[in-house]
Each structure stands twice: as C-alpha cells, then as structure tokens.
Amino acid sequence: MRTRTIVDTRRVPHTVDGETLLITEEHTRQIPVPPRDWDHIVWTGALGLIIVGLGIVIVWSTSSIGQLLVRTDIAAPIAFAAATGFSLGWIVCMALEWLARYDPVQIRHPRAAGHVFLAADMAAVCVHGWVADSLKVGIIGAVLSGGAKALWTLALDRQAAPLSARDQQWVMAKRAQIGSRLALGAVRRQLTRAEARAADEEAALRARSDADPDGPDESEDEPDADILPLPPGATTAKDAVRTAWEAGFRDEDKIRRTASKALGRPLSPDTVARYVRALKVGA
C-alpha cells in the first residue's frame, strides 16, 4: 500500500524549573494514498477534448459564416458577430440540456432547439463552401459541427443518471412545490408595491382635498362613532377646534374631522395644528 507523510503540529506541556507551559511540537504520521481513479481521469480527459473541439468548431463556423455574410456588403465586424450566433445557439442549448439532464421532460425542448440551430449552422457552412467553390471543405466543416454535437450528446448521456419513475415523480413534485413558493413570493411583492402605490394616491387625494377648503363636502356613509356632535354655534374654525378640544379629543386627525363636520367644510391639517398648539399653550 502506498502511503504519504503528513506533518502535524500539536500543543504539549513542557516544564522548566517547575513552571509548565504549552509549546508547539511537530509529529509525523503516515496515511494511505488511494489508488488512481482512472475512470475519473479518462472522463476528465474526454470532457477536456470535447471542450477543445467545441472551441475549434466555433472558430471554424464563425470564420466560414462570417466570410459568407461579408459577401453581402455587410461590415466585417457585424458579419462575424452575427456569425457567432449560429454556433452559440446550439452550444447554449447543450448547456441547457446539461442542466435538465435529470428531467426527461424538460430536456426535450433544448435538445430539439439545439438540433435546429445545429442544422442551420451546418447548412450555412456548406453554403459558404459552395459559394467559395470549395463544397468539400464546406461539408467537412459541417461534419465537424455535427461531430461535436454528437460527442456532447454521448457525454451527457453518460453523466445523466437515470431515475426511477417514482423518484422522477418525487423530483417533479418537489420542483413544483418550490416553484410555487417562488411564484407566490413574486406575487406578494407585486401586491405590496400595488398597495403602496394605492396608499400614496389616497394620501395625495386627501392632501389635495384638505388644501381646497372651498371644495365639495366629504361624503361619509356612516358617522364615526367616536366623534361627538358639536353645537350649531361653532361657526368659526377656531371655535370648532376649541369645542372639539374641550370635548376631550387630543388626536389632531379626530379634531379635524369633528371640526370639519361642525363647519360643513374640510379644515386643513395645518390650520388644526396651529389652533391645537395655541390651546396647548393656553392649557
């Protein structure tokens, strides 16, 4: 068995002249070395080669399709930027396939879309070869793209562990449960924002009504139970506020509603606050 040496440190007591202190001491130990995981090494190497091949295919396809688009008097930077979309389309779909490798239902859509993007990429490369009087080279470039896609599909099939029917249903139910929680959270945020906007609009309308003392009377379906009726002699705003104060009201909003009801017109909060301050000073 292969082993390797590890040096550890530990704190140990050491006594000199009757005084004991903790010092650092090194000690070595041997631990077994696990054998090489050749399966993992081979998988890592194969995956690295696939990624390198994808890079080569992207460069080839982009170069071919970019030269094809340049023939239509499109600026070279724009043509080559657009050409990357042909390869990146099916490569992004392969990434989505990887994310959905444990869900046989969700993986169908990115796989089908990847085939469509791959077919468009291969067709464009072949067209470039035909236009450039080198159809064989175009076919070779198209085969490279198809081969890269096939290798990735094989690697994905190896990595995706199959799930039993019961396990698959459990995964789908759990995903639906978490998705519902996320959706409800988003709906709650929308409702909170809508409620805040409605409250702001109501506050703005109330402030506008208070600032317009000549406006129409505020409609009330039912009288407030905690507002006492004022005698008809309270004809001025000051008298109405003082009467509400003497009736025992201390909340300025209640005083304003009581005085406004007695006067038959709304009072502004600033007016009520000014009279209330004067009554507090007099008290």
Q: Output the CA–CA distances (angstroms, integers) from residue 122 to 69, 90, 281, in the order listed.
A: 15, 11, 89
Residue 39 in this model has a pLDDT that exceeds 70? yes
Q: What pLDDT does residue 209 have? A: 65
With 0-12 CB in 10 A as exposed, 13-18 as middle and 19+ as buried, what is 61?
buried
Q: Which two tokens stand for residue 240?
A: 């109405």
pLDDT band at residue 116 using 50, 70 and 90 as cut-offs: very high
> So what's the pLDDT on residue 233?
47
Q: For helices 237-246 and 269-282, what crossing angle results, to 10°?
A: 60
**Phi-psi sector, 240: left (phi>0), alpha (psi -120 to 50), beta:** alpha
Q: For residue 186, give the 3-state DSSP assignment.
A: helix
SS3 89: helix
The radius of gyration of the chain's CA atoms, rounded to the nearest angstrom, is 40
Rounded to whole angstroms, the Cα distance separating 231 from 146 reads: 93
d(CA 125, CA 9) in angstroms, rounded, equals 63
Secondary element (H or E) of residue 80: helix 76-99
- Indicate the burial class of 20 (C-beta count within 10 angstroms; 0-12, 13-18, 19 or more): exposed
pLDDT of residue 227: 47
Statement: residue 216 has pLDDT above 60: no
Confidence (pLDDT) at 219:
45
Asked which of 72-76, 135-139, 145-149, 179-183 is least confident by mean pLDDT, the reply is 72-76
pLDDT at 104: 78
The 10 Å CB-count burial string (b at 16+, else e) for 26-41 is eeeeeeeeeeeeeeee
| Residue 242 per-residue DSSP state | H
